[in-house]
Amino acid sequence: MPNKNFDIEEAYLEIFLTKTISKDDLVSLLTSEGISFDKNFDLNTAKQFDLGTILINDVPKDRLITVVTDLQKNKYPNIKSVEEIRLTIDSLVNLSEIEIAKYYLKISNSPMKGFVEDFLAGKNKESVNKNDLLFFVMEELIKR
């Protein structure tokens, strides 16, 4: 049963667009969606995170999911699809934060691993919640 507070599609879009695809593909998406910038905006120096965020904020989510799904299938087949990710996340949402953190530690090689280890040791319990942990898991799963 999905966690109503965790939007898998929104998280997938954020990870895929701001951290996963090439900047060239991101610029192509911006162009194909009709997003233009004034002459003072330099796409070459813009950060991928910012460009991905612009897409997320300016394109309706349903449309963006369709475009990203097509791009993932055609150009990034080694990246898990939103539906593949949904299967795993749906199986985790009813677990406790501690169980999700332990699962994350099993699958992660990320620098965030230390942060989650600190969470399990009780050092940063106030700064991490279940949705954060699910997001961290998604970041790892997308790459696998």
Cα–Cα distances (Å) from 35 to 18, 30, 54, 98, 123, in that order, read 16, 5, 9, 42, 43
Domain boundaries, the chain: 8-81, 95-143
Is residue 114 scored above 90 in pLDDT?
no
CA distance 110 to 105: 9
Is residue 44 scored above 50 in pLDDT?
yes
Is residue 75 scored above 90 in pLDDT?
yes
Q: What is the pLDDT of residue 4?
A: 57
Distance of CA 113 to the CA centre of its chain: 17
Is residue 141 scored above 70 in pLDDT?
yes
Cα–Cα distances (Å) from 86 to 1, 95, 125, 133, in that order, read 11, 15, 26, 15
